[in-house]
Structure 1
Amino acid sequence: MKKQNLVVVGGGSTYTIGMIMSLIAEKENFPLASITFYDTNEERQEKIAKASEIILREKYPELESFHYTTDKEEALRNADFVFVQIRTGGLRMREQDEEIPLSHGVVGQETCGPGGMAYGLRSIGDMIELVNDIRHYSPDAWILNYTNPAAIVAEALRREFPEDKKLLNICDMPAAIMVSYAGILGKDVFDLVPEYFGLNHFGWFTKVLDKQGNDHTDTIKRAITEDGFLPEDAEIANDPSWIKTFKQVERMATDFPDYLPNTYLQYYLYPSEMAQKEVSGNTRARQVINGREKRVHTLADQIIADDTTENVELEVDIHGRYMIRVAASMAYNNGDIFIVMVENNGTIANLPDDAMVEVPSMMTSRGPKPFAVGHIPRFYKGLIEGQLAYEQLVVDAYYENSYEKALQALTLNRTVVDAPTARNILDDMIEANKEYWPELHRNKQLVTNA
């Protein structure tokens, strides 16, 4: 089995140590020759990298090489796989993404609604530049992108790199939900085979089978509606915000019992209620800054100070394991089935071919082979088409530098709907993001006629 050379872009991420632990747990399935971290923030990366170096020394001694760098060419040359997890603007801008909508009575969330648009318009340019750089230094590398907001980023990359068959957009949220399904059933998450359709952070499980073909969907539905639903993945199991989010699944499954929902649908199905529950000064971004970020940095500091992992508790989470299992299936042509983002091309028969949909696919050395979903019911089709139009209009706004397209996108989004509110949010976000966004121009004819 060939050992792979892996590059992690965004090496300073608070998720990186979890990724390292996942690579260790999965080293028999996805053996590595080298790991390289690349980040533009030298200080942030150095702390995570030094801790990771100690972890790898103790738990992955057979790894031939580990290093970290801020030099793009040094990092990206001769890679087999590149895992991408960048956050343009950092948590500082995420906090603005969430506070600005909330000041207008609208959901403030990282990937949904106005916050998702703001983050997306910041991410597109950096992602395009990064993919071009990877292709310059490692033309044949697999790129697994899980940069948020994944739906908007995937749409932009589809337009920019239509012939790149080794560029895959992926999200671990369906897998994190399936960890809880597995807990209900007393099974390992990788023994489950999902049937699913939708867009990223906007989809539904239609069935949950096991590898023997047994259908456990009704059992899961009954357990959720009768006993409730809690996160079980190590990274989120004790997080109060995620606990509340998973509890909302019970309500969604009761209101719309056809299918099992992605947790993020709470923001679109109950937007007014979700906005009312949020508190300015303590949005999810602030909770991450005071919670996970502080916890991970404290953990890294202790590992570095002790020069050992003996005094800390390290956990493997689904975020890393899912990405690695997908990568392994492509590297070794395993044909395993995972939920990933692909261009529709008839997979969901009554959605546009150019939609970037999220569906189960067989992962092969030639890329994902999606399973046909067929026609979806009118209610779900209507929801998806509105969200899809929003996502595509955001990308239109980026390429056309169009204020009107951005305004149309926000007005369409179910978390906003009201056009004057959309305009007020957009104007505030333009001001907050002037360092990052492309300049959005108003249509001169419309301004003249106003």
Structure 2
Amino acid sequence: MDDRKFSVLIAGGGSTYTPGIVLTLLEHIKKFPLRKLKFYDNDGERQKKIADACRILVKERAPEVEFEASTNPEEAFSDVDFVMAQIRVGKYAMRSQDEKIPLKHGVVGQETTGPGGIAYGLRSIPGVIQLVDYMEKYSPNAWMLNYSNPAAIVAEATRRLRPNSKIINICDMPIDIMDRMAAILNLKDRNELVFRYYGLNHFGWWTDIRDKTGKDLMPALKEYVSKNGYWVGGDYDKNTEASWEETFKMAADVYALDPTTLPNTYLKYYLYPTEVVKHSDPNYTRTDEVEAYRQKNVFGECARIVKNGSAKDTNFVSDQHSTYIVDLCTAIAYDTKQRMLAIIPNEGAISNIDPTATVEVPCLFGATGAERIAMGKAATFQKGLITEQNSVEKLAVDAWEEHSYTKLWEAFSLCKIVPDAGVAKDILDDMVVANKDFWPELK
């Protein structure tokens, strides 16, 4: 380590996840020293509610760190070393449409998978590209760590449209699962695991997990997951919402389909869509749950901090998932070659998958970014699923680039979650109306 300190911009400063990320950055300030913390959001009113509270947090816990919040791109993106991007184009109003429109047609309604994920992807592409352009204009040496969803479609778009940009697309879902694996095995944390993993974002499998002595941990994990999924229970899961409890437990059903690997939880939407729809309420989806609980609690706590002028008794806690982001920044800043997952162009990492696919595989991170680690061949089952889903993602980006209704209809129709092209067209037509302020006009 040296005496450098870094300037970090959180793009999407009005997110309810921002306070947890701020606390994580402050808790790891010796590992990753900060000189400046900045927020950017195009919704100034929403960001102000979060920023006013975070300003107090920073002043109390790290007064040496300069804090700024802005809706002006030049102010926000100037003098920045790292951009942490977590935008949601269309906010919760559009997320609700992503979930409820497919359910109206008897299809899984989820914000990052199926028709809802495709719809969200077309909204996210221009937003993320705009952030990349701001960064390159005002801080050309900075790195962007993007965890804006849906990461697979965003990664495919940035691969095509900004192939030389310093953007790394990442996801915290495998991180959460590996934290659970560590808890199941009574290990300190996920950094105790040496893993092999391959697939697409929200669409992957662990093929090998060992501890740092080389001991094979897969047999113990498989035995546990076959019975309990990734549900830990007890104190570990005391604050886990009911919808996530169902998801973690259902990993047992996904595992049963291929007991040679351990699955990402999101595979339940593709492999058991009928079961998912059966347990879904088309009038009260995950968005309603988030707005009723998380959003209300976060904005309420921010208002309380501002009213009291102090955050010393705050109930905000650091976001365990965002430690991954700090690890990535540290690895790049100090060239540590730490092994972590990223969503990157395949280029042979999975040898029998399209080299232009944006896959999720382990990489070594250092000063030049991510160096992919070869995962060998995908098994027949996985290869078939990956090829189909990657084609959906490519068609979605084709549709955005070409303003093509047909390409988007093909993407919806090819998606494993959708039963046939007729249903796909019905959903798409409803989506076109709902997204008229966000999508390009389709021809």
TM-score class, shorter: over 0.9
Aligned position for 1:293 = 295
Equivalent position of 1:411 in the other structure: 413
Aligned to 1:367: 369
Hey, what does 1:167 align to over in structure 2? 167
Residue segments in structure 1 that go unaligned for 5+ positions in a row = 442-450
Counterpart in the other structure of 1:446: none
One-letter amino acid matched to 1:91:
Y
Give the partner amino acid of 1:185: L
How many Å apart are 1:227 and its aligned residue?
A: 4.3
Question: Which residue of the partner structure matches residue 142 of structure 2?
Answer: 141
For residues 134-165 of structure 1, give each alpha carbon's deviation from its aligned partner in whole angstroms, at most 9, with x where no partner exists. Answer: 1011111001111100000110010011122x
| C-alpha deviation, 1:319, in angstroms | 2.5
Give the alignment of 1:42-441 within 5 angstroms.
42-63=44-65, 65-164=66-165, 166-187=166-187, 188-230=189-231, 237-441=239-443
Single out whichever of 186-195 and 344-353 deviates more from structure 2.
Answer: 186-195
Give the Cα separation in 1 of the matches to 2:185 and 2:237.
20
Quick one: which amino acid aligns to residue 112 of structure 2?
T
Relative distance call for 1:372 and 1:186 in structure 2 (3 A) is same
Say which SS state the counterpart of residue 284 (structure 2) adopts: coil
Task: Give the stretch that moved more between structures: 306-315 or 356-365.
Answer: 306-315
Cα distance in 2, alignment partners of residues 75 and 317 from structure 1: 23
Change (3 A) 1:368 1:310: same
In the superposition, the TM-score normalised over structure 2's length comes to: 0.96
**In 2 relative to 1, CA 438–246 (structure 1 residues): closer, same or farther, beyond 3 Å?**
same
Cα distance in 2 between the residues matched to 1:319 and 1:230 = 17
**In the alignment, residue 200 of structure 1 is paired with which amino acid?**
N
Q: Which residue identity does 1:418 align to in structure 2?
A: D
Q: RMSD in angstroms over aligned alpha carbons?
A: 1.5
Q: In structure 1, which of residues 21, 26, 29 is the aligned counterpart of residue 28 of structure 2? A: 26
- Secondary structure of 2:69 counterpart: strand
Within 1, Cα distance between the matches of 2:418 and 2:387?
16
- Paired with 1:55 and 1:401, the residues of 2 have a C-alpha distance of 45
Distance in 2 (alpha carbons) for counterparts of 1:224 and 1:180? 11
Local SS of the residue matching 2:266: helix
**Deviation digits for residues 37-88 of structure 1, max 9, x if unmatched?**
000111110111111111112222332x011011110000121000101111
- Name the TM-score, length of structure 1 as normaliser: 0.95
Q: Give the match's secondary structure for 2:307.
A: helix
Counterpart of 1:263 in 2: which secondary structure? coil
Give the letter for the 1:438 counterpart: P
CA offsets 1:1-60 (integer angstroms, 9 cap, x no match)? 311110110000010001011101221221111000000111110111111111112222
> What is the alpha-carbon distance in structure 2 between the residues aligned to residue 146 and residue 231 of structure 1?
25
Q: Please tell me whether the aligned partners of residues 235 and 317 of structure 1 are also in contact (alpha carbons under 8 angstroms).
A: no
Structure 1 residue 255 displacement after superposition:
2.8
Shift of 1:411: 0.6
> How far apart, in 1, do the equivalents of 2:218 and 2:309 lie?
47
CA-CA distance at 1:132 after TM superposition: 1.1
| Structure 2 unaligned spans of 5+ | none
Alignment coverage as a number of residue pairs: 439
The 8 Å contact of residues 172 and 318 in structure 1, kept in 2 or not, is answered as: no
C-alpha distance in structure 2 between counterparts of 1:228 and 1:135, whole Å: 43
Q: Offset of 1:237 from its aligned partner?
A: 4.5
What secondary structure does 2:106 align onto?
coil
Asked if the contact 2:5–2:32 (Cα under 8 Å) also holds between the matched residues in 1, the reply is yes
